[in-house]
Structure 1
Amino acid sequence: MTVPVIALCGAALTYPGPPPVAALLPCDLTVHQGDFVTVVGPSGSGKSTFLNIVGLLDSPTEGCYLLDGIDTGRLDDPARSALRGRRVGFVFQAFHLLPHRSALENVQLALVYQRASRRERAERSHEALQRVGLGHRIHALPTTLSGGERQRVAIARALVGRPSLLLCDEPTGNLDTATAAQVLDLLEELNAGGATVVVITHDLMVARRGSRTLHIRDGILHEPAAMPS
């Protein structure tokens, strides 16, 4: 049995008060390598808290979180940051690309703190851009790219470090319907190639793209029972 990528065991997060706010109630979740999980819920439901825990931006105040079998609660802040840098690739609604750097240079920035030569960084970044269908636009500036192309650069940047988990926060929020569908198609292709993908969204149409869909409301995370075929 392989070690799960994500294992939440009674994980919860309460922000201190006064009054204390229970942002995520105790939950259990297992995500295996190659899963495509979507997490859907309205604004204020606890989606951001869930993302912050899974992305190692916050630690649960109750229970535990294992990433690739590593008990993250036992790590100090520098070790947790290092683990996040190695194991989690983030894709956000805002593309966060440097406007005066090329697509290739934006992707390379994700490797600055890894022990890789300049040549290796360039080769891996080119490979990541090819993987998302932008091998022909490596020298383009973000200002010359469409919204969908900029999100593809952001996905390449998330992939270049070869993370265990691709964690996407409203990745289609700034895109029109047709372009959003193309980005979701790309995430499905990456998942079919072995990537473990978790997408946080408020959009039910996006949520339906996952092979598993979790619902969160009022800090309660649950996975509806699958309908019989």
Structure 2
Amino acid sequence: MTAPTSATATGSGPGGGPLVIRLAGVGRTFAGPPPVTALHPSDLEIRRGEYVAVTGPSGSGKSTLLHLLGLLDTPSTGSYELDGIDTAGLGDRDRSTLRGQRIGFVFQSFHLLAHRTAEENVLLAQLYNRTPRARRRAAAREALARVGLAHRTRALPGTLSGGERQRVAIARALVNGPSLLLCDEPTGNLDSANAEAVLTRFDDLHAQGHTLVVITHDPAVAARAERSVRIGDGRLREPGRPAVDG
């Protein structure tokens, strides 16, 4: 059996904060034939308020790790605790509820509805929230203001730049007050100016105490984070150290 590889990444981070993510020996193998191990058993801890980049080339296991962290998939081995909650025994409904309450997603392709305004796209994240509509609308406007789009609440996605559309997606991810902001190649579809604008917003969110995990293949994006974890051939490793093989 492969020994768990440690991904206690570079940089000490704001030590002492509560753990948001704790992976212990987590691995993922897909049934064959032949079986394919997309993530070897690995450990990872991320504390509240940390900004962590996960880097690696295409096919390295980044997507598998993203799906596990986002509760979109379940590990074949090991345990995953999110905010101290052991996710192993949760059924599909409870996993969906936990995901909606604790995780905000930002994807490369924005995933905005073209016929809905910026505000309405953010409101979609609160679709099953029983809070009165006036409070939900106020929260959506506040989230848009936090990403610098208070003046674009009624704009349709087609009238926004790529960077503005990604900032709408960030606002949507933030509106429910998640414990974790999970970003998958968030600048992959942006030019350099718009990418810089989005990364500046991430810097601001980090300064405000948000926990960010950014999956990226871009070293310039990873350099903005305070910690970095590399994944290659399904193995998490600290930069400069080889993975542990069993």
Structure 2's unaligned 5+ residue stretches are 1-15, 242-246
Q: Which residue number in structure 1 is paired with residue 78 of structure 2?
A: 63
Which residue is equivalent to 1:44?
59
Match of 1:139 in 2: 154
Amino acid at match of 2:37: A
Instruction: Find the aligned partners of 2:21 and 2:204 in 1 and give their Cα distance.
Output: 21
Task: Give the 3-state SS of the residue equivalent to 1:73 in structure 2.
Answer: coil
Output one character per residue of 1:57-84: Cα deviation in whole Å (capped at 9) or x when no partner: 0011100000000000110111001100
CA distance in 1, matches of 2:180, 2:138: 22
Superposition pairs of residues 1-229 of structure 1, within 5 angstroms? 2-224=17-239
* Deviation (angstroms), 1:3: 3.1
Gap runs ≥5 in structure 1: none
Give, in angstroms, the shift of residue 182 of structure 1.
1.2
TM (norm. structure 1) is: 0.97
Deviation at 1:224, TM superposition (A): 2.5
Shift of 1:2: 4.5
Q: Take 2:158 and 2:71, find their aligned partners in 1: how far apart are those partners? A: 31
Q: How many residues align?
A: 226
Using the alignment, how far apart are the partners of 2:77 and 2:19 within structure 1? 20
| Distance in 2 of aligned mates of 1:2 and 1:79 | 26
Task: Give RMSD over aligned pairs.
Answer: 1.1
Q: Distance in 1 between matches of 2:43 and 2:173?
A: 26
Task: Show CA shifts across 1:137-188 (max 9, x none).
Answer: 1001111101000000000000001000000000000000121111011101
| 3-state SS in 2 of match to 1:8 | strand
TM-score by length of 2: 0.90
SS in 2 for 1:74: coil
2:11 equivalent in structure 1: none
1-structure distance, mates of 2:134, 2:237: 45
Give the Cα separation in 1 of the matches to 2:30 and 2:129.
Answer: 33
- Deviation per residue, 1:60-113 (Å, 9 max, x gap): 110000000000011011100110000000000001111111000000000011
Q: Which amino acid aligns with 1:8?
A: L
Q: Structure 1 segments of 4 or more deviating over 4 A?
A: none
Question: In the aligned structure 2, how far is the partner of 1:211 from the partner of 1:54?
Answer: 19
